[in-house]
Structure formats: structure tokens, C-alpha cells
Amino acid sequence: MAPPRAYQCEAVTLKKFPLGEADLLVTLYTRERGKVRALARGARRSNSKLMGHFEPLTQVKLSLAQGRDLDHVVQAQVVSGFALLKGDLGAIAKGLYVAELVDGFGSESNPNQPLYRLVIEALHAIEAAPESDLPLRFFELHLLQVSGLMPELYRCVECRQTLTPGRHRFSPNLGGALCLDCNPTDARLRPLSLRTLKVLRLLHRTPIAELPALSMDAALARELKALLSTTIQYWLDKEIRSNSFLEHVHHVAGTEV
């Protein structure tokens, strides 16, 4: 029998599921192969060399052996455990939301290095500013971009005219902004204020580490969030389960101060 083919990769754990007495079934997003489901044998035993390496939101270097159904983890080394993120309840909620969306948008045996880089950058940004919602908005917009679904922000998606400064509308299903003159029947139109459009363009062209600390009022933050999440929801086409905890944590934090 030929020895199993082994390969090295770098990955972030999206979720884990206990299997049998002591094994873990892990969903990884790898830099080299896109989404990979792998078996970590014995990883739940406290004396296992793999113990603790596959908590969700952990960046690891791995060596995996190809199996018939599932690949097996041979070795793992933590690159970043995001310990600060994991010490903040709001940041955990945000990190798990990121993980769920990557699980939804990433596909198996379809490497997407920009998506891998985006996840890592987003987790670092959440860790650096756990109170801010901007890292999540950045993540959502760039998730659409690296998935080939970037909304149009400069021209009307219908008449292709360059958008003039002013109020516009946005359609998640037609893929971006619309001028006030165009009224396609199947568009799920939402209002798009000039302020929101400007923030979207800024998020689009600024690297996450260089994002300025924008002070957005509640109305602007709400419009931006609603617009991005309806677009994400439209493409994902299934319930985002981590959303309710994210909202819950937000709500509790909001009433405390």
C-alpha cells in the first residue's frame, strides 16, 4: 500500500465538532486549498499533542495526510491564537460571525488566497479594536470582492452613467448602486445616502490596517450595516446563525453604558 500523501498548509479553524470518544472534526480555511474538513484524531484528550490547537479562530501551520474521505491532521503548530480577541466577549461574537461567513462563501478544493489573507487581517483588526464595528464592515465588503461579487460603487448598474454626488439607491441583487432615474422592476431597492457611498468607497480602497477611526453617527452606521448585510444575506441565501448572538452581545453592551 502506498503511504498516504501528506501536504503542508496554513489555516484558520472555522469550527469544530466532537466525533467519537476523543476525535475532532474540524473545518479549516486553508491558504493552499480553500476550505478543508479534516479529522484530528485524539485531539480532545488532554495529553494529545493536538489538544487546544483547533479552537475556532486559531491560525495554525499544519501537516495533513490525505485520506479516502477525510484528510487527517498529522501535526499542528499555532501561529496565532488571537488570545486578546478571545478575552473579549464582543470580539468573540464578531470573530465567529467572520468564521461563519468564510465557511459560507469559501469552497472546498478551491483555493482563494485573498480570502485567506482577508480573514487573518479581519481577526487582527477586530482584536486591535474590539469596540469598533468598522473591521466587520470592511470584512463584509472585501468578502464580496474576493468572492467576485463586489458591488458597483461608481456607476449606475443599469444605465452605466457615472454617479453624481447626491442621493442614490442600492440593489443587492443587481450588484450595486443605481441612479435615481433607473427603476428596474426586479431590483430590491434600498436608499443609499452620499455619506454611506463615500464610506463604502473608502472601505474599498483603504487597506484594513490604515483605516482611519471614522466616527459614524448611529444613522450612518445603521445604513452601512443594513446595506452590507442584506447583500451578504442575498448571496449566502441561508440564515447567518451567529448574527443573533452578535446582536445580543451588542445590545447588552449598549444598555450597560
Nine cell digits for residue 132: 469598533
Q: Which of 74, 94, 125, 54 is nearest to 246 (CA)?
A: 94
Shortest approach of another protein to residue 179 CB, angstroms? 39
Does 41 participate in binding another protein (rule CB under 8 A)?
no
Which one, of 233, 221, 143, lies nearest residue 188 by Cα?
A: 233
The verdict on 182 binding Zn ion (CB under 5 A) reads yes
192 sits near Zn ion (criterion: CB under 5 A): no
* Options 156-164, 184-192, 211-219, 246-254: segment touching another protein (CB under 8 A): 246-254
156 makes contact, choosing from another protein, Zn ion, none, with CB < 5 to 8 Å by partner type, with Zn ion
For residue 163, state whether it binds Zn ion (rule: CB under 5 A). no
Of residues 169 and 225, the one with the C-beta less far from Zn ion: 169
User: Could you say which of another protein, Zn ion, none residue 24 binds, taking C-beta under 5 to 8 angstroms by partner kind?
Assistant: none
**Smallest separation, CB 149 to Zn ion (Å):** 20
**Which grid cell is 80?**
496565532
Count of all residues that appear for the chain in the document = 257
- Does the protein bind another protein through residue 100 (CB under 8 A)? yes
Nearest residue to 142 (alpha-carbon basis) of 132, 156, 153: 153
Residue 89 touches which member of Zn ion, another protein, none, C-beta under 5-8 Å by kind: another protein
Indicate the helix (H) or strand (E) that contains 19. Answer: strand 6-19
Residues 135-164 binding another protein (CB under 8 A) are none
Report yes or no: 198 and 165 within 8 Å, Cβ to Cβ: no
Which range in 57-65, 73-81, 120-128, 178-186 contacts Zn ion by CB under 5 A? 178-186
Contact of 123 with 57, CB cutoff 8 Å = yes
Per-residue b/e over 217-244, b at no fewer than 16 CB within 10 Å?
Answer: eeebbebbbebbbebbeeeeeeeeebee
Residues that bind another protein (CB under 8 A): 15, 19-21, 46-47, 49, 51-53, 55-58, 78, 80-81, 83, 86, 88-89, 92-93, 96-97, 99-100, 239, 241-242, 244-246, 248-249, 252, 256
